[in-house]
Amino acid sequence: MDFQIKLDKLNATVISKAAKITALNATELKEAFTSLNKKSINSVILDLTESKYCDSSGLSAILLGNRLSKDTNGKFILCGLQPSVFKVIQIAQLHKVLLIADNQEEAFKLI
């Protein structure tokens, strides 16, 4: 499993253990977001501290998590972005759409 989920009463933290988020594991991430949404957990922090690369499939999974959270009046926050991942997000201009924090502590303050 490339992703670890820590549940709290009202939110969840999904921690990436994958060096890369690609088509090989993006489905697993999408399933994690969908499962959390079905459990009425609508505020999610995605910690990408260990992820050094993200392709379009990874961005698609991130956007799904964001949409599911927003659709249920929750918050979706990315944290721990490595420079290479942040650059991909900037190129796609998703930094204008997504909430981004430096680390989990800052992300929890945004919830």
The CATH number of whichever domain residue 18 belongs to comes to 3.30.750.24
- Assessment of whether the complete model's pTM goes beyond 0.75: yes
What confidence tens digit (pLDDT) does each residue in 8-47 have? 877 888 898 989 999 999 999 999 999 999 999 989 999 9
What confidence tens digit (pLDDT) does each residue in 43-100 have? 999 999 999 999 999 999 999 999 999 999 999 999 999 999 999 999 999 999 999 9
- Structural domain that includes position 60: 3-110
Residue partners of 81: CB distance under 8 A and separation at least 6:
48, 89, 100
Domain count along the chain = 1
Rounded Cα distance between 75 and 92, Å, is 20
